[in-house]
Amino acid sequence: VFQRRSSASEDFYRGWRDYKDGFGNKNHDHWLGNKYIYSLTNQKTYQLRIDLRDSGSSSKYAVYSTFRINNQADKYRLSVGSHSGNT
């Protein structure tokens, strides 16, 4: 889990450095950090699953066949493959 945002406990309106290095508490709302996500996603092939829940009981998900982000020189550009799910 590289991001969790389930409450207002953490402010996600932040600058580049915070998103690069990460912030929050891994057991609560957090962003892992682009430099760490880059390091993980460039070791082997990964899928990305995104789960969305609203304040009621509705939920949706999306799965991308491949997922990686590029390095800082490329501004951590996101690359994803084909999409499936109910979003």
Q: List, for residues 12-65, the tens digit of each pLDDT value.
A: 999 999 999 999 988 899 999 999 999 999 999 999 999 998 888 899 999 999
Q: For the chain, what is the domain count? A: 1
The C-alpha atoms of residue 20 and residue 38 are separated, in whole angstroms, by 10
CA angle 42, 49, 58 (to 5 degrees): 160
What was the pLDDT predicted at 20? 98
The pTM is what?
0.84
Domain that holds residue 30: 3-85
CATH number of residue 9's parent domain = 3.90.215.10
